[in-house]
Structure formats: structure tokens, C-alpha cells
Amino acid sequence: MADKEVRLTGRWLGGIGFTFIIALIGYGLSKVPGFDHVGQLACAIIIAIIYRQIWGYPEKIRSGIQFSAKRLLRFAIILYGLKLNIDVILHQGGWLLIRDVGT
């Protein structure tokens, strides 16, 4: 039973690693002139779409890919939104934060 759990965990982590590699390639592509206007996320999505159309996703790691797409992507979007809010607070000053807490 423990051996099966180790294999499932390895496959799950393999899917997360696979999406991480796609994200790194998207990051690198976003540094290329012309793609720098597209952005990192859009580049990673384009790479993932092309990869899926040509080779398809490996079935063994599909659970990790789905976890990354559903859970990690949502968490990243929340963190990105938080970053935007913190940038506004830092640039507008503490008064904006005090006003918002009061509201």
C-alpha cells in the first residue's frame, strides 16, 4: 500500500513539476523581444497549448497538472491581486490604508 502511495505522490509532484517547467519556459520566452509585450502568463499558456496539441499531456501526471491548473493557478491569481493592492497602498500612502480600514 505504501509503495502505491509513493508512486501516486511522485506522479502528482511530476505534474506540478511539469507545469513549473512550462512556467519557466514562458518566463524565458517573455524576455524575447516581441514576446515581452505579451507577458509571462500568456507565453506559458501558449506553450502549454502548443505542447498539448502536438504531444498531449502524459496521463501519468495528469492529476498534478489538474491540481496546478485548479488550485495553484487560483492561489497565484489571489497573490497577484494582493501584490497590486499592496503596490497601491505603498504608492498612495498609509492614509489610504487607514481610510479603507475605517470604511
For residue range 40-50, list pLDDT tens digits in order. 888 888 999 99
DSSP state of 68: I
Question: pTM of the prediction?
Answer: 0.69
Q: Helix (H, G, I), strand (E, B), or coil: what is residue 55? A: coil
Interval 49-67 mean pLDDT: 90
In percent, the amount of the chain with pLDDT more than 90 equals 27
Asked if pLDDT for residue 82 goes beyond 80, the answer is no
Residues 6+ away with beta carbon under 8 Å from 58:
18
Q: Is 44 buried (19+), middle (13-18) or exposed (0-12) by CB count in 10 A? A: buried
> What mean pLDDT is reported for the chain?
83
Judge contact between 34 and 77, C-beta under 8 A.
Answer: no
